[in-house]
Structure formats: structure tokens, C-alpha cells
A and B are shown apart, each in its own frame.
Chain A
Amino acid sequence: MTRVIGSRLLSTILVLFGVSLVVFLLLQMVPGDPAVTILGSGATAETVAALRTELGLDRSLPVQFFDYLGGLVSGDLGRSLTINAPVTDIMLPRFWNTLILTGAALLLCIVVAVPLGVIAAHKQYSIFDRASMMISLAGASVPVYWFGLLLIGVFAITLGWLPTSGMYNPRFPGGSGDLLAHLVLPAIAAALVPLAVIARMTRSVMIDVLQQDYIRTLRASGLSTSSVLWRHGLRNALPPIVNIIGLQVGYLLGGVVFVEVVFGWPGLGQQLYTSITQRDIPVVQAGVLFIALAFVIINLFADTAVGLLDPRTRRKVGA
């Protein structure tokens, strides 16, 4: 198992190298000269040239990239073009806020979707199965930003149960209760699509598992339905489900950008949105990098978990 994790770590490092290369190249894709963008079109050729030297833009691309990479390793992501601060200082606190929102949404996904899928598989073709699968089919097509607005309209404005936006009450910033009240709606909005997909996957995996011989044997030997379903059935369905959950985190992290914009949640996504409108590319790069980083690491965990749950997969990865 250690060898498996070792080889996964190695490939993760390679992926992270590729990720930073792509993020670095994003800046190169910006049309026009960044120095001119910063200084405005009225700048003289000398000042532009001076800024190019200062930003290191006059060097070759590989040199620039390894410089950027060196900065990354030491936690230096450059300076923001609009806020006079290092990008890392701006993004780190927001990264935690995004993790809180994503974590809550992920928890919601797992707690709702997996039992839903298991019960639907158990009662295949029942009304419960058909209804929940129809809803999750539609749920998988829902635009996150629109669903967020619906939630605000219904629960925050019409019913007035929950706050419309933000992370804490601006006048009386309370403790965890305040945070929780602000967290409910964005977490539901972010969770909807992955929840629908995970529920459908869980159902189809469980249907396959429940048709296998050992399940029939367990049933015939008089084990209770719940034990067959939850202890023996789900246990063997878990590896593919964990895989799907890991991949759906990608959709979750992408969707969180919209959710944060709609709900004014002070996370990476909201900062990304602000920086995009201001064309503050270093901050955009950092936002993309942080989110990709989170995605890669979560999938590393998911893969390791699958390896722990299903010994058969270990050999394949280690080879």
C-alpha cells in the first residue's frame, strides 16, 4: 500500500507541475502586452520597456516559467495589479472560506445522495425510485447560478428565514451559528448537481452489486435486509462511488465560483470574479491554481481511499 501511495504521490507531483505550467501559460494567452495593460495605452516606450524588465517579461519563456515555479514553491505568487498586496495574502484567507463552503456542500452531497441511491436501488422501479431518479435527472441539468437565485428568492426574501448573502452578519458578526445560517443556502446550491449525479451513480452501482450471487446467499441465509443492504451491499459498491465523488468534487469546485458570486460568499470564486472584471491576471491565475490544487489533492485522497477499500485496485496502480 505504501508503494501505491508513493507512486500516486509521484504522479500527483507531475500533474501539479503540469498544472502550474498551464496556469503560467494563461498569462501568455492574454492578448497584448501585460506591461502596456498595466500602464495604459498612453505610456511611453521607455516606461513600458522599464516595466517589462522589472516584471521579467524581457526574458525567455522557459526562464520566466522556472522563475514562476520557484516563486510557487516558496509561496510567492506575485503581486496583485489592483490591490497593493501579495497575491498569496489575498487568496489564502479566501481559500479557507471556499473550503468551508465546498466541505459543507460535499458533506451534504454524500449524506443525501448515497442513502438515496441505495434505497432507490433496493426498491428498483418503485414510485420512490422513479420519483427520485426523475428529480436527480433534472437536477443534473440545473444551472447553479439560477438555482442559487431561486433559493435566495424563496428562502431569504419571500420567507425571510435565512440571510441573502455574505458569510457573517455585517452588523452583529456572530459565531458558528451565524456562519451556519449563512452557509445553508449556498451549500445547498453548490451541492445540487453533484448530489444528483452521485445519487444516480450510487443507484446503478448498487443495482449491479445487489444482483450478485453473494448477496443472494446472504439473503438466503436469513440476514436482515438492512444488513445485506448497508453492510454487505454498500461496502462493495463503495469503491466506484468514492471514485465518482472524487470526480464530482471538480464540478463542485467549478460550481462554487457561481455560488460565491450569487451569494456574495468571500471565497476564491468571488475574488476570481472581481479580478476577472478588473483584468487582474495574477490573482486570476492564483485562484485557478488554488482550485485545481484542491481538486488534485482531493482526488489523491479519493484514489487512496479506493485502494484501501478495494485491495484489487492496488496492484493495477502499483504496476
Chain B
Amino acid sequence: MNAVTGAVGAGRSLFKVRRYPAGGPMPTEVAAPKPQWRLAARAFGKDRMAVVSLVVLLLVALAAIFAPLLTPYSPIAGDPVDRLAGVGTEGHLLGLDGQGRDIWTRLLYGGRNSLTVAVVPVLVVFPLALMIGLFAGFKRSRAGEVLMRVLDVLFAFPLVLLAIALSAVLGAGLGNVMLAIGITLIPYMARVAYTATVQESSKDYVEAARAYGANPLLLMFRELMPNVVVQLLVYATTLCGLMIVVASGLSFLGVGVIPPTPDWGIMTADGKNVLLEGIYHVATIPGLLILVVSLAFNLIGDGIRDALDPRKQTS
């Protein structure tokens, strides 16, 4: 059902309205056009790039989780004798780094940190941003507007810079980096939830529900929220892709995960030192993985967005 038929339905149900006490369940004719999950899933399944990306991402996550099963080596202790051995060395498919550590092993264990640091803040901020956006966007209260204006100030800082500044003052370490990234994300995600809420609120089904006196809280959570969640979900997926790059970047700068803990950004930074000696594999391999994972998140985000677009579902 789309917004147009919803409006027509609202007109038709005028006589029924009296039967419903204010705040009771909404007549089905004025119910919000809820996201059609099954249709969306089918459309997503047809998007070859998105499906491949999802598979790649799952493989990377599984490889990180089951790292000890996939490698006999330690990610921290190295063998200095073979240091900087190149790609294809026997027993070390991706070679060794400057301290003689197996790069394949460090990629696997590093995935645990790199993925956690990027994804967990997005997941934690998601419900918070959703609530800020819903309350500020739907009720349009003075307090909500002031909060959004205050968050606007944070847009004056480039996203990456704010993350760097916050982790610089908080100090390095897994928890602090996640905190820094989480704080950085609040204005961005809240803004998306807010804009989505304002847009949804002006649609016919909300007007209709308001007109017949639906309980605003029920209207907000039952009818409005699913549509806002969807838009925020698309954005959050794309943000995960960006945060993989940013979080690894923080580690690259030394304000993220603390060495010798493996992390893709730290591995790239390790490779920087031997790059000038003409040894490229130490820096290029982890960076390539960051690129692949980030791209996968972006393609999945695009896939979800297209799948939820009713105009593209039928085609």
C-alpha cells in the first residue's frame, strides 16, 4: 500500500472513525505503509553485488572469529629469522612482517579488533540516535529543536577530525576508540533519524491518524518508527563501511588500538616503515582488506536502499 491509497482509505473510513476510541488501534485503511520485508529481501537477493558483498563480509567475520582454527601461529610473537619474507613463502602464504610475524595470522586476529571497533559504536548509537530523531522530529518540542541545533555545531568538525581529536584526548585503547567513534557518530545518525522522522510525519497516513486522534506515542512507535528505522539502517550500513576506514586510520595514527595487538590499521602503519626499503607487501595487504570490507558494507547499504525502494521492487 502506498501513501496515496492510504489517503483514499482514510477518506473512506470516515464513518468508521467513531467506532474507534481515540488512541485505540488505527483502522487498517490509514495504517502506515510498512516496509515490505519479504519483498525487500527478494529484491536484495536479486542484487548480485550486494549478495556477494554479504558473503564476503560473513566470510571475513567468520575467519576473524575462528582465527585459531585457521592458523597455527601467534599474532603477537614473531620469528625474527625470516622477517620480511615475501608473499608465497612456504608456511606463510602472505609473508611475514618486520618483526617476523605471519601476516595471514595477524589479518585474522586483527579482524576481530578492526571489525569490533568499527561496528560496535554504530550498533550502540543506533537506538540512541533513533530516539533523539523520533522525539525531536515528531513532537517538534523546543527541547528537541535545541538539542538538534546543539548537535549541528559538531558538524563544523570534519568527521575524521572529531574522531581523531576525541581519541587523542581520551587516550588510545580499544574502549576509548569505540567511545570516541560513538560520540562522533551521534550527530550524524541523529540527523538522519530526525530528517526521516520529519519527512514521514508530513505524510498523509500520519496526518490522518493525527486527525482522528490516535495516541501520539503509539503512532510514533508503531507506525512511524519502522519507516525511520529502515532509513537509519541504510545509513548505518554505509557508516560501518566508513568507520572501518576511520577506526583503522586511528590505529594507523597511534590513537586507536594499542600495539602489539593486531589491527589492520596498525599493520598498515607497520608496513609504512619498511616501504621505503622497497618492501611493499606488509603495508599493502592489510590496507587492501580494509578497502574490500569497506566496499562490501557500502554495496550492502546500496543494496538495502534499492531493495526497500518500492519503485525498484517490482521491476
Measured CB to CB, the residues of A under 8 A from B are 15-16, 18-19, 21-22, 26-27, 29-31, 137-138, 140-147, 149-150, 152-153, 157-158, 164, 250-251, 253-255, 257-258, 261-262, 272-273, 276-277, 281, 284, 288, 291-292, 295-296
Would A295 and B158 be within 8 Å (CB), given that A18-B153, A146-B268 are in contact?
yes
A157 to B81, CA, bound (A): 26
Interface residues on B, range: 35 or more
**Does more than half of chain B's interface fall in helix, strand or loop, or is it mixed?**
helix
Does B6 touch A at the CB level, under 8 Å? no
* Residue pair B253, A250 in contact (C-beta under 8 Å): no
A150 to B159, CA, bound (A): 24
Q: Of A16, A251, A284, which is within 8 A of B159 by CB?
A: A251
A150 to B100, CA, bound (A): 22
Complex interface: chain B residues within 8 A of A276 (CB):
164, 168, 253-255
A292 to B241, CA, bound (A): 24
Does B98 touch A at the CB level, under 8 Å? no
* Residue pair B254, A292 in contact (C-beta under 8 Å): no
Apart from A15-B153, A144-B245, A152-B276, 4 more pairs, CB < 8 Å: A19-B156, A137-B295, A143-B252, A262-B272
Does B275 touch A at the CB level, under 8 Å? yes
Does B294 touch A at the CB level, under 8 Å? yes
B221-271 at interface with A (beta carbon < 8 Å): 241, 245, 248-249, 252-255, 265, 268-269, 271
Could you list 23 examples of A-B contacts with CB < 8 Å? A18-B153, A19-B156, A19-B157, A137-B295, A137-B298, A141-B291, A141-B295, A143-B265, A143-B268, A145-B287, A146-B291, A149-B284, A150-B284, A157-B275, A157-B278, A250-B158, A251-B160, A272-B164, A276-B254, A281-B169, A291-B158, A295-B156, A295-B157
A147 to B291, CA, bound (A): 10
Complex interface: chain B residues within 8 A of A288 (CB):
157, 161, 165
* Residue pair B157, A146 in contact (C-beta under 8 Å): no
* Residue pair B295, A138 in contact (C-beta under 8 Å): yes
Complex interface: chain B residues within 8 A of A295 (CB):
156-158
Complex interface: chain B residues within 8 A of A16 (CB):
156
Complex interface: chain A residues within 8 A of B165 (CB):
26, 284, 288
Complex interface: chain A residues within 8 A of B298 (CB):
137, 140-141
How far is the CB of A51 from the nearest CB of chain B, in Å? Answer: 19
* Residue pair B284, A153 in contact (C-beta under 8 Å): yes
* Residue pair A251, B158 in contact (C-beta under 8 Å): yes
A209 to B290, CA, bound (A): 36
Q: Of B157, B245, B271, which is within 8 A of A143 by CB?
A: B245
A251 to B159, CA, bound (A): 7
Complex interface: chain B residues within 8 A of A30 (CB):
169-170
Complex interface: chain A residues within 8 A of B154 (CB):
22
Would A143 and B287 be within 8 Å (CB), given that A22-B157, A29-B169, A284-B165 are in contact?
yes
Would A258 and B158 be within 8 Å (CB), given that A141-B294, A146-B284, A153-B280 are in contact?
no
Would A152 and B157 be within 8 Å (CB), given that A137-B295, A141-B291, A142-B291 are in contact?
no
* Residue pair B291, A138 in contact (C-beta under 8 Å): yes
Does B283 touch A at the CB level, under 8 Å? yes
